[in-house]
Structure 1
Amino acid sequence: MDLKKPVTDPKVLEAIHIMRANNTPETRSQMVHAVMQGRFLAPVHIEPEPQTDENGCAVLTPDATVGFHMLPTKDGQRFLLAFTDWDELKKWKPAGKQQVLTIGFDEYSRVILRPDSVAAGFVINPFGVNVSFNKNFLASVQAQKGLSATSAVTQQTTIPSGTSVKLGQPQKRPDAMLQAVSAFLAERDSVRAAYLGLIEMENQTHYLIAVDLEGDCSGIFEGIAAVAKPYLGGVALDMVTLENSLGKEAAKQINPFYQKNE
């Protein structure tokens, strides 16, 4: 980042203040849009410490590691920090040298949604406006972005009559994919549970996700496909509801990887 350039994001703060003064679906949407377009100061620890070039930009070595500072909550969750300006950052750490990166919504999402991440989300100006975005919300937004970026529409899988299908479970669970899908499903009130199987038909092996839901599956399969895509590794993904005979069989044989919290 440019160490000489001041960092401020007045549009984000303006949108937050407008939303706080008049909390409506429209002002919330405008606030989220502003945050998605914004850039924030993220306190980090970089090892080895980077040097600065003649332009004042930090230069990281190829073997550098970056760790993000987090703020714990009373219930034990930990949130990455996002500051709109240096004054807000100094409310967290008023003195001493502080390493920072300037990153945006998507970068926060990628860090938080990693399989090995312990972060529950990120919080903007925790000692000021104190607006947080949790992991489930970030997963939902990324799923919708993935959906809008593709023209393909994923529909419920239909197995042709007479096709021989063998249902089992993957020897190695795709845990990263299941975590991403679970985070997406947690934002969908209509979904009660989901099951992961492995089906073999016509000499091909596919993942199968069977979804127990109430009502229409519109948007559910598209969202699952969007968040699962980066983790498929070339394996096809089929999806069914429990109204499908294959879905019913999956629910009988397999423990759910996702269940709705009642």
Structure 2
Amino acid sequence: MNDSKKPLTNPAMKKAMADMKANNTPETRNLMINMMMRSTFLVPVQVGFAGPPPKMDKNGKVPVPPNTKVSFALLGTTDKKQYFMAFTDWDELHKWRKNPAQQTMMLHFDEYAALIDKNPQVSGFVINPFGDNLRFEREVVASLKQQKDAFAKAAKERAAQKRINPGDKVVIVELSVYPEELMAPVCDVLEANTQVNEAYLQMMIVNDTQKSYLMVLDAPKDNDLFTKVIQAARPYLQQAKMDMNLTIAASPLGQQGIRGSEPFYSRARGRIYEQDEED
């Protein structure tokens, strides 16, 4: 259970919804769905601990002990359906109920999908029901979850097949053009992490046949950061039918990837690839 008192704004998600509302096309819908599947939402709950409430850990999470009862607030509609609610920020939640004592949790798409699957009386979930009022019906949620799991499984299998082994010939080629659709969402993630000093993107060719992107982060190894970067990159990679390997600058592969190269992002200089395009 996350600390729901931390600021939550979701500007990228709100922009994706606004863009779709202004121009509802397959492209804007797909961008909105991809953003939704990697966003964090506030959900109002009522938590009943069997004993004293646990303390928050150093990561801002509250462990949920056994026998803890969590009840989720549901939104009823005029056609007698019930939905879980998902708020992009506190302002949206306060449109529903402005109660300083309101308990909340932070949930992701996978957790909403699991809740809907376990509660057959619930028809889906709705984002900002008193603002954007964007519904995701049960069947749509199940389909999106199935697609996401299939893609993750296929990516894992491809990664296993393309694992670099001792003796493999590895060639790193510098990109002449950076794809904006990949750079922008990745830089959003990097800018939110103060441990990232620089980031590089190259083309990696293994044994003259296997092509993939190689992203090198000048940062400590952090699985959570890696996951967020891959999630941000996934829509473009899926569309371009490309894989991407991710490593840190301190690794042997990372050292090879940054040698003689310019970063596309720097904490000190910002999004360098955009500056290069302006030049």
Q: TM-score, normalised by structure 2?
A: 0.50
Runs of 4+ in 1 over 6 A off after TM superposition: none
SS of equivalent to 1:89? helix
1:3 Cα shift? 4.4
Distance 1:79 1:11 in 2: 23
SS at match of 1:129: coil
User: In the alignment, which residue of structure 1 is the partner of 2:108?
Assistant: 104
Contact 2:73 2:85 in 1 (8 A): yes
1:86 to 86, 90, 93: 90
Contact 1:3–1:58 (CA under 8 A) maintained in structure 2: no
Displacement of 1:147: 2.8
CA RMSD in angstroms comes to 1.9
Asked if 2 retains the 8 angstrom alpha-carbon contact of 1:3 and 1:57, the reply is no
Equivalent-residue separation in structure 2 for 1:96 and 1:128 (angstroms): 20
Amino acid at match of 1:142: K
For 1:76, the equivalent position in structure 2 comes to 80
* Structure 2 residues not aligned, in runs of 5+: 155-279
User: Mapping of 1:166-205 within 5 angstroms?
Assistant: none
Is the Cα–Cα contact under 8 Å of residues 125 and 131 in structure 1 kept in the other structure?
A: yes
Aligned residue for 1:126, secondary structure, equals: coil
Aligned length in residues: 150
How much does 1:4 deviate? Answer: 4.3
Structure 1 contact 112–120 (Cα < 8 Å) conserved: yes
Name the CA shift for 1:112/1:101 in 2 (closer, same or farther; >3 Å). Answer: same
Matched, 1:9 2:10: yes
State the secondary structure of the residue aligned to 1:52.
coil
Distance 2:23 2:64 in 1: 43
C-alpha distance in 2 between matches for 1:81 and 1:140: 19
The one-letter code of the counterpart of 1:22 is N
**1:130-166 deviation line (CA, Å, top 9, x unaligned):** 1110100011112222333445xxxxxxxxxxxxxxx
The residue type equivalent to 1:138 in the other structure is V
Tell me how far apart the structure 2 counterparts of residues 144 and 66 of structure 1 sit (CA, whole Å).
29
Which position in structure 2 is the counterpart of 1:67?
71
Instruction: Report the Cα distance in structure 2 between the residues aligned to 1:150 and 1:32, rounded to whole angstroms.
Output: 19
Q: Which residue of 1 aligns with 2:178?
A: none
Residue 8 (structure 1) shift: 1.3
- 8 Å CA contact retained: 1:71, 1:81: yes
Pairwise CA distance, 1:54: 6.9
Pair 1:29–1:53, CA change in 2 (3 A): closer
The verdict on how the C-alpha distance between 1:150 and 1:59 changes in structure 2, with shifts beyond 3 A counting, is: closer
Cα deviation code 1:210-256 (max 9, x no counterpart): xxxxxxxxxxxxxxxxxxxxxxxxxxxxxxxxxxxxxxxxxxxxxxx
From 108, 114, 120, the equivalent of 1:117 is 120
Would you say 1:131 and 2:134 are equivalent positions? yes
Q: 1:92 to 1:4 in 2, by over 3 A?
A: closer
Q: Work out whether residues 3 and 105 of structure 2, in 8 Å CA contact, stay in contact via their aligned partners in 1.
A: no
1 CA distance for matches of 2:5 and 2:46?
19
TM-score, with structure 1 as normaliser: 0.53
Tell me how far 1:24 sits from its aligned partner. 0.4
Cα displacement string for residues 37-79 of structure 1 (whole angstroms, at most 9, x for unaligned residues)? 1000011111127343375643422211212111001100001
1:86-143 deviation line (CA, Å, top 9, x unaligned):
11111111124111111111110110012x4321010111111111101000111122
CA distance in 2, matches of 1:124, 1:3: 17
Return 32-41 or 93-102, whichever deviates more. 93-102
* 1:40 correspondence with 2:41: yes
Cα distance 1:23–1:109, how it changes in 2: closer, same or farther (>3 A)? same
Matched residue, 1:229: none
Partner SS for 1:33: helix
